[in-house]
Structure 1
Amino acid sequence: MRPGVHVRSARPDDLEDLVGLCLAARAEAGVGSQLCTEDAERLRSQLGALLAVPGGEVLIGTVDDQPAGLLLARLVGPGPFTDLSSLNLEAVFVVPDARRRGLGHALLSRAVLLAEQNGATELYSSPLPGARGMQRFLARLGFAPAAAHRVVTTAVLQRRLTHEVGPASLTPAVRRTGPRGLEDLIARRRQVREGRRRQDDASAADTAAQARASINMQVSRAVQSRRPSSSSTTTW
């Protein structure tokens, strides 16, 4: 860690500095509520809850004793579907004036220590779309794509579900459309192709059997026509 750069676990009396850092990150990212709320009081309450909840981790970084960066994370697992634990990085941010001084590396080094102390075998991060600098930073440190996330608004999902299923009183049977209907169509076509292939194989087998029988018959006739008759056989 470079001189003047320090990272530690945040305390309740760091809430004001954390709120300021989150709002600075929101202003820079330009993605609005995808990052955090602009309501300072509400943001203070949310950060306080993360500090208090089991598994919540909040790190604050300083440069020359001035708040300059943060890392928000949650320990996840083990759970009903996995025996593994992971550390999910909700946000990593360093103010522009403090970048290229090693604070980002220091924050992640402390995150690795937290993961090891809690038995977490992996660290996950979901950088915001368009955050190319953070994407490159994480890629250099070995973070690789893990999965494709999909998102839908509540209103759109409700509208699509209503369109596909319809009211129970008007739709006696669920109408399958969209991706599921396409999967069914593909499956039916595969079944038809498989049936045709089996028929073609059976037809080819019958043709081959008939050809062999014809050849055997012709050979048999040829042998019989070349065999000498009993009256011309000479006995010595």
Structure 2
Amino acid sequence: MNLRPANPADAAALAELGGRSFVAKFGHMYTPQDLEDFLADSHSEAKVAKEIADPAMRVLLAEEDGALLGFCKLVMACGWPEHARHERVVELKQLYTDPETTGRGIGAALMDRALEIGREHGAGEMQLSVWSGNEGAQKFYARYGFGKVADIHFMVGEQRDEEFLYARML
């Protein structure tokens, strides 16, 4: 498995994997219209291309033999400053793996590198949000030293999802 920064040519594949992963894990929770609108906004090729080009973000992908296995996005700024415990905080925006490759260590490799990138950036804390019902992800993040620091929410169309803000010091 190879980890590398995304480049503009990766936008379509990242958008496709992001949308497919989101639908596989959470698609059943939303009305068709809310899901369609959310995917068009959050997982479009144009949105991903803009994120890749944004100097305030780092988009990292995992691939093997030319196949995209997963990715993560880091925002090099604090997503929830009201809960920050350090003056410099980064946000792990997404950590997605192909639903067919779960359990192969892809998420762990991406998380390890994301933590390194945060430290290299000089951050003292990393924040992320996780759906309150996603116990598997919560356990994964806990293994990396993340803990719940606040209750927050996340909107998908008209639906409000209860989420947890997790954080760890770097």
Fold match (TM-score > 0.5):
yes
Give the aligned residue type for 2:64: V
Residue 137 (structure 1) aligned with residue 137 (structure 2): no
1:172-221 residue CA offsets vs partner (Å, 9 max, x unmatched): xxxxxxxxxxxxxxxxxxxxxxxxxxxxxxxxxxxxxxxxxxxxxxxxxx
Within 2, Cα distance between the matches of 1:40 and 1:8? 25
Give, in angstroms, the shift of residue 147 of structure 1: 1.4
Contact 2:16 2:43 in 1 (8 A): no
Cα 1:150/1:133, change in 2 over 3 Å: closer
Within 2, Cα distance between the matches of 1:127 and 1:104? 15
Greater helix share, 1 or 2? 1
In structure 2, the residue matched to 1:17 is: 13
Within 2, Cα distance between the matches of 1:98 and 1:65? 14
Q: What secondary structure, in the 3-state scheme, does the structure 1 residue paired with 2:13 have?
A: helix
Contact 1:59 1:107 in 2 (8 A): yes
Give, in angstroms, the shift of residue 41 of structure 1: 10
Unaligned runs of 5+ in 2: 159-170
Greater strand share, 1 or 2? 2
Q: CA RMSD in A?
A: 3.0
In structure 2, the residue matched to 1:63 is: 64
Contact 1:6 1:106 in 2 (8 A): no
State the identity %: 24
Q: What secondary structure, in the 3-state scheme, does the structure 2 residue paired with 1:127 have?
A: strand
Q: What secondary structure, in the 3-state scheme, does the structure 1 residue paired with 2:39 have?
A: coil
In structure 2, the residue matched to 1:113 is: 116
Give the aligned residue type for 1:17: A
| Structure with larger Rg | 1
Cα 1:20/1:152, change in 2 over 3 Å: closer
Answer 1 or 2: higher relative contact order, Cα 8 Å, separation at least 6.
2
Give, in angstroms, the shift of residue 86 of structure 1: 1.4
Which deviates further from its counterpart, 13-22 or 120-129? 120-129
Cα 1:151/1:57, change in 2 over 3 Å: closer
Q: What secondary structure, in the 3-state scheme, does the structure 2 residue paired with 1:112 have?
A: helix
In structure 2, the residue matched to 1:125 is: 128
In structure 2, the residue matched to 1:86 is: 89
Q: What secondary structure, in the 3-state scheme, does the structure 1 residue paired with 2:69 have?
A: strand
Structure 1's consecutive aligned runs of 4 or more residues displaced over 3 angstroms after TM superposition are 31-34, 80-83, 150-153
Contact 2:90 2:123 in 1 (8 A): yes
Within 2, Cα distance between the matches of 1:152 and 1:11? 28
Give, in angstroms, the shift of residue 130 of structure 1: 2.2
Q: How many residues align?
A: 148
